[in-house]
Amino acid sequence: MGAWSDFWRLHHAARVLARHDALIPREYLDGLPLSLRMARRLLGTREREDKIAPPGVRLAAALESLGPAYIKLGQVLATRPDLIGPDIARALETLQDRLPPFPTEDAKKQIEASLLKPVTEIFSSFSEPVAAASIAQVHIGETADGTPKKVAVKVLRPGILQEFSKDLSAFAFAARQAERFSAEARRLQLRAVVDTLAASVALELDLRMEGAAASELAENTKNDRDFRVPAVDWSRTAGHVLTSEWIDGTPIRDPAEVEAAGHDPKRIATVVVQSFLTQALRDGFFHADLHPGNLFVDGDGKLVAVDFGIMGRLDPAMRRFLAETLGGFLARDYMRVAQVHYDAGFVPRAHPIETFAQALRAIGEPIFGRTARDVSMAKLLAQLFDTTYRFDMQAQPQLIMLQKTMVVVEGVARSLDPDFDIWEASRPVVETWMLEQVGPEARLREVGDGVNALGRLARDLPQLLRNAEIVSTMLADGGMRLHPDTVRQIADAQAQRTRHVRVAIWIAAVALGVLAAGLL
């Protein structure tokens, strides 16, 4: 893609942003050089447009009008409050990924080109589009061979690959030029932001990857009582088309409709939160777009999620970090929480750890003494991240995705049950997770991975004892008692453990005893 083509695409985008007063917003004019003030006028900024709306809302509207690539850019920027500020980031979370549908005949041509068969040989019936977004749209079909099955057929927009290629080329050009002339742009790593966007889009533009995400989530949750994933029809899936089981369920948008279908909205609210947390904490792989339009209740009362284009992952190290952070907050041990951040390298050691612990105390202490319904888990995480940013913690995309999904999940739950207690609903999942992550047995299992783990465990013995103290404090009389669901989950987990794992744990325990005797 030529530099001139990139330049003119960026120029067009700049004019659109300026018309929304979102390129050089009036709120930021004080202190700006005369050259930027003149550029603002030359680009045609409308002083009266969106007069009341804040800058972030104006930016979201401008990005929506610029099309799919800019909508995706806005979604990526929403995960970088360190780059654009928390207010702008929150506003970009409202971006609407909706566009008018394209003709059904074009969808059929896409299917035939991808599956190398006439549509009539693949589907005995094929509807007009029932949903349309920036990248693809969905039709209802019925399979043509064997026992007819009702399916959802997702088809990429024609030409979307080429359009994204052009816009991503322009974004990369802009980032290169910015980093060439601006030290601040280099510090913010603008090229890395564009690379993140390009990687995300590459996955979304290959519908086989979305099918694989659905398949992985289905495998992880196959034994979950209250959640399931539509089955993927791989024989009718390719890069530009994804076919999956059609869900004849009740949308959860309206609590009255959920109740009329014979389901308890309060129970569904609990299932939404517990399913999300289980995916994130147990599996490290979660659906990151759980808005009401993507959630249904089937005839068996199970929660069913659709649309797997946006998924989140937490690697084991990040889950351990979260476990120890949560344990420290529950024990009101703010110095330990601070140390976890420093040990992970998230906060530069130039900041005194005592000052950081003091800032964490300002987050944690207001929680104690308040009713659970008065405290939002999503807001607590947001406050934690805002504090760490002030101490120069770099953005952690895994954690930001988790927190932003929690905002949506919490909103969905409270729309179903205005009195929803997210802490009580989360407790059985979090308790089990804490026992698995910071309990002594978790460290013993590490030893079973190899002889080298023994030295690591000896090094961590003081923290092992501290973790045991945290868990004991949580479970002590008058403290946090195990939820009945937690007891059931632990019993199930114990029953499912293989004999080999049990043997490894006992061997590790004996080895620890020998090691401890040698140290005495």
* Per-residue pLDDT reduced to its tens digit, 368-408: 666 656 667 767 777 787 787 788 877 677 777 787 788 88
In this predicted structure, the answer to whether residue 43 has a pLDDT above a threshold of 70 is no
The reported pLDDT for the residue numbered 427 is: 76
Query: Which residue type does 307 have?
Result: D
The pLDDT value recorded for residue 252 is 92
Question: Which of the two residues, 220 and 451, has the higher pLDDT score?
Answer: 220
Say how many C-beta atoms besides its own lie within 10 A of residue 88's C-beta.
22
Mean pLDDT of 486-511: 45
Q: What pLDDT digit, counting tens, does each position of 409-421 carry?
A: 988 998 899 888 8
In the predicted structure, residue 513 carries a pLDDT above the cut 70: no
- pLDDT on residue 300: 92
Residue whose token pair is 């009582």: 225
What's the pLDDT score for residue 373? 63
* pLDDT top residue among 178 and 482: 178
% of residues, the chain, pLDDT over 90: 30
What is the per-residue pLDDT for 90?
78
Could you tell me where the DSSP H helices lie in 205-294? 207-220, 255-260, 265-277
**Secondary structure in 3-state letters for 69-98:** HHHHHHHHHCCCHHHHCHHHHHHHCCCCCC
Query: If you average pLDDT over each of 293-307, 427-441, 495-509, which comes out highest?
Result: 293-307
Model confidence at 70: pLDDT above 80: yes
> Residue 55's pLDDT is what?
82
Residue 499: pLDDT band by 50, 70, 90 thresholds?
Answer: very low
- Least confident residue range of 100-109, 217-226, 321-330: 321-330
CB atoms within 10 A of CB 262: 10
Q: Which pLDDT score is estimated for 512?
A: 40
pLDDT at residue 14 is higher than 50: yes
Instruction: Take residue 24 and report the two structure tokens written for it.
Output: 């050089």
What is the average pLDDT across 341-362? 90
* pLDDT surpasses 60 at 487: no
206 is catalytic: no
Tally of CA atoms within 13 A in the half-sphere of 339 that contains its CB: 9
CB 381 within 8 A of CB 422: no
The residue whose two tokens read 């009389």 is 477
More reliable by pLDDT, 170 or 468: 170
pLDDT of 479 > 50? The answer is no
pLDDT at 506 over 50: no
Better-predicted residue by pLDDT, 166 or 513: 166
- Where in the chain is CATH 3.30.200.20? 98-246
Look at 239 and 174; give whichever has higher pLDDT: 239
Q: Which range has highest mean pLDDT (52-66, 441-455, 477-491)?
A: 52-66
**SS3 state of residue 54:** coil
What confidence score (pLDDT) does residue 396 get? 73
pLDDT tens, residue by residue, 236-289: 999 999 999 999 999 998 899 999 999 999 999 999 999 998 999 889 999 988
490 band by pLDDT with thresholds 50, 70 and 90: very low
Q: Cβ(160)–Cβ(68) under 8 Å?
A: yes
Nearest partner of 274 among 398, 433, 159, 136, judged by Cα:
433
Is the pLDDT assigned to residue 443 strictly greater than 60? Answer: no
* DSSP annotation string for 125-192: EEPPPSEE-SSEEEEEEEESSSS--EEEEEEEPTTHHHHHHHHHHHHHHHHHHHHHH-HHHHHHTHHH
* CA–CA separation, 305 and 292 (whole Å): 10
Contact 88, 54 (CB under 8 A): no
Tokens representing 453 are: 């783990």
Predicted confidence (pLDDT) at residue 86 exceeds the cutoff of 90: no
Give residues with Cβ within 8 angstroms of 113, minimum separation 6. 240
Query: Alpha-carbon distance 198 to 88, whole Å?
Result: 22
Taking the CA atoms of the chain, what radius of gyration do you get in angstroms?
Answer: 26
Is residue 216 pLDDT above 90, yes or no? yes
Q: Assign domain 98-246 to its CATH superfamily.
A: Phosphorylase Kinase; domain 1 (3.30.200.20)
Mention every residue, 6+ apart, whose C-beta is less than 8 A from residue 137. 101, 102, 107, 129, 131, 154, 155, 157
Q: Is the pLDDT of residue 494 over 60?
A: no
Mean pLDDT of the chain: 79
Q: For residue 189, is pLDDT > 90?
A: no
Helical segments of 244-376, H only? 255-260, 265-277, 316-330, 334-343, 353-364
**Are 323 and 433 contacting, i.e. CB atoms less than 8 angstroms apart?**
yes
Identify whether the C-beta of residue 231 lies closer than 8 Å to the C-beta of residue 244.
Answer: yes
Catalytic residue selected from 6, 21, 226, 289: 289
pLDDT at residue 256, rounded to an integer: 92
Nearest CA to 308 out of 404, 406, 214 is that of 214
Distance, CA of 36 to CA of 332 (rounded, Å): 49
Q: Is the pLDDT of residue 65 over 80?
A: yes
Answer yes or no: is pLDDT of 150 > 90: yes
| pLDDT recorded at residue 445 | 53
- Beta-strand (E) ranges in 279-321? 285-287, 295-297, 303-305, 311-313
Residue found under tokens 């942003």: 17
